[in-house]
Structure 1
Amino acid sequence: MKAAPFSYRRAATLDEALAAGGETSRFLAGGQSLVPMMNLRLTLADTMIDISGLAELRRSGREGDRVFIGAGVTHAMIEDGRIEDPSRGYLRHVAGGIAFRSVRNRGTLGGSLAHADPAADWPTALLALGAEAVVRGAGGERRLPLTQFQLGLMETALRPDEILVGVTVPVLSDLARWSYRKFCRKSGEFAHSIAAAVCDPRRELAEVVLGAAADKPCRLGRASALLADGARVDPQQLGQVVDEDVRDATGLAASSYEFHLHRTMVVRACAHLREQT
């Protein structure tokens, strides 16, 4: 299929893009999700505003004890280490596992977050890292924890006249540990289950997040508390905690294949992280 007719406009500045935005327009960055959806007519737009050339969306740098990463930064830029990785290799690992290299060359971090597909990598990975979305519009700038930015299936807190300009992530200490587990039927496909675990005692960060299991990534509170506790946990106790978390997050029956898949991913991520102590 082909997209419905639309007008195309290439923005020269972020302010120009914001001025052109509205209810019936769409912002185009990498286009790896938006273009296929428009071709299938799942998304319609009167105007396509191209923001892929805006250098201000590809900047990155320190902001105190956090690092700002522009929304226009591609997966490949993160994978190749062309921007600072404050996460002790976590972000590079996640980026390197996204789809195929051709997609990573064009797809952007901001595009993935704004698209808000729960089976995508960045919504889950960045939630576990304690990331914050930086949004700009006519009313100024807003900073939202990802728990407030990601509202549901392909739904975010972005208003029609706003652009996601980037995210901030904490600079992890040398005590930080992380694990990222993803199950796909074959390499490059969307995930059927994602489990991310990040723990940094010095920053009081302990998060376990399950993705590709509900309408948005789910923070697993009991498993996160178990990581924060720091005590040795036997496999049986870990399994019981994860069972409760996955059941609450998904509503799946414990006998179902999907429940077993999600449980296995979370247990493996938590166990791998605990092995690093």
Structure 2
Amino acid sequence: MKAAAFDYRSPDSLLAATQLLAEQAGRAKLMAGSQSFGPMLNLRLTRPQLVVDISRLAELAGVRVADGQVEIGAGVTHAAIEDGLHAALREHPMREVAAGIAYRAVRNRGTLGGSLAHADPAADWIVTLTALGARLTLRSPRGTRSIALEEFMHAAYTTALDADEAIAAVHVPQATTGHRWGYYKFCRKPGEFAEASAAVWQGAGQPQARIVLGALDGAPLQLPALAERIAAQGAAAATREALASAVHAALPGRDAVDHQLHTVCLARALAQAGLATAPATQPAGAHA
């Protein structure tokens, strides 16, 4: 299929882009890397009257460090993170995540902000940045606001973005000596959407980790009770039985296969972070 007819604009600033969104009152869509939006247009799953192209905005392509946080422009591509083009992210866990997203052709064009705004539950950034405790800067003609990523995604493909808002930047903690990190996902083959995933982050000096399950029906789920037990008891609290119990409690409506996949992903993410012993076997199609 081909996309339904639409008007196209390429503004010279993010403010101008959001003004166009405001004028259209819900009938316009932003386009960044277009790796998800393009197929949706062609399948006519979305039919905006106006497409606002922000892929060329230099103000969205920078990375800087301030007050222990890395501020990443929403237009930074997965490939730019993977290739270490920005010094602040060269030793950051986000570089490993970026390298495992889909295929190189997708990573060359796909953007960090575009992935988050799309809010696919199986996407890598949604779960890993929730574990990192990321915050987003949103801009509109009305001003700027900040929101925690864990409050941003309401459901599958549904976010807190207002019709005239755009993601301007993503803020994540710096990676410093002593941090703990793990991310594991299960895919049928490399490049496919994850069927289960888990991410773990513990900043240097933090009392406990953030443990998150992803690739669900909606937003990622945190496991704070498990994180508290591991902080208090160490790896002894991360037995296979304890992890399976935590997954079952968090996902009561899922079947046994889903529980198994998420339990394995969780165990391997915790093992990567040094907070559990690695399982003896690895399921086919799993990717760190």
TM over 0.5: yes
Q: Does 1:47 align with 2:74?
A: no
The equivalent of 1:274 in structure 2 is: 274
Is the Cα–Cα contact under 8 Å of residues 128 and 198 in structure 1 kept in the other structure? yes
Give the AA of the match of 2:228.
A
1:4 and 1:224 map into 2 onto residues whose CA distance is: 48
Deviation digits for residues 168-213 of structure 1 (CA, Å, limit 9, x no counterpart): 0011331101111111100111111111111124245611111102
Range 255-264 or range 32-41, more displaced: 255-264
Flag as ranges the 4+ runs of structure 1 deviating above 6 A: none
| Larger CA deviation: 237-246 vs 41-50 | 237-246
Out of 214-223 and 178-187, give the one that drifted further: 214-223
Counterpart AA for 2:252 = G
> After the TM superposition, which residues 215-226 of structure 1 pair with which residues of structure 2 at under 5 Å, given as runs?
215-226=218-229
How far does residue 86 in structure 1 lie from its aligned partner after superposition? 5.1
Map 1:73-84 to 2 at 5 A: 73-84=76-87
> Which residue identity does 1:83 align to in structure 2?
H
The residue that corresponds to 2:6 in the other structure is 6
Aligned length: 274
Deviates more, 1:214-223 or 1:64-73: 214-223
CA displacement 1:233-254 (0-9 Å, x = unmatched) = 237x53333223322332245x
Q: State the distance in 2 between where 1:150 and 1:193 align.
A: 18
Structure 2 counterpart of 1:161: 164
Conserved? CA contact 2:89–2:95, under 8 Å:
no
Provide the rounded CA distance (Å) in 2 between the counterparts of 1:107 and 1:95.
Answer: 10
Partner of 2:8: helix, strand, or coil? strand
What is aligned with 2:281? none
Counterpart amino acid of residue 17 in structure 1: A
RMSD: 1.9
Which residue of structure 2 aligns with residue 18 of structure 1? 18
TM-score where L is the length of structure 2? 0.89
| Letter aligned with residue 233 of structure 1 | A
Q: What amino acid maps onto 2:194 in structure 1?
A: A
Alpha-carbon contact 1:199-1:228 (below 8 Å) kept:
no
Q: Are positions 1:194 and 2:197 aligned together?
A: yes
Is 2:65–2:88's contact at 8 Å kept on the other side of the alignment?
no
Distance change (3 Å), C-alpha of 1:259 and 1:93: same
1:194-213 equivalent positions in 2, closer than 5 A: 194-204=197-207, 206-213=209-216
Q: CA, structure 1 residues 275+160, in 2 after alignment: closer, same or farther (shift >3 Å)?
A: closer
**Which structure 2 segments of 5+ residues have no match?**
278-288
Aligned to 1:141: 144
Matched with 2:187 is 184
Whichever residue aligns with residue 243 of structure 2, its letter is: V
Q: Relative to structure 2, which stretch is displaced further, 192-201 or 155-164?
A: 192-201
Amino acid in the other structure paired with 2:265: M
Assess, with a 3 A threshold, how the Cα gap between structure 1 residues 16 and 205 changes in structure 2: closer, same or farther.
farther
Any unmatched runs of 5+ in structure 1? none
Contact kept? 2:123, 2:193, Cα under 8 Å? yes
The CA deviation at 1:276 is: 8.9
Partner of 2:41, secondary structure, is: helix
Alpha-carbon distance in 2 for matches of 1:212, 1:31: 21
Query: Normalising by the residue count of structure 1, what TM-score does the alignment of the two structures yield?
Result: 0.93
Q: How does 1:222-261 map to 2 (within 5 A)?
A: 222-229=225-232, 231-234=233-236, 237-252=238-253, 256-261=256-261
The 1-side partners of 2:105 and 2:249 are apart by 37
1:127 aligns with 2:149: no
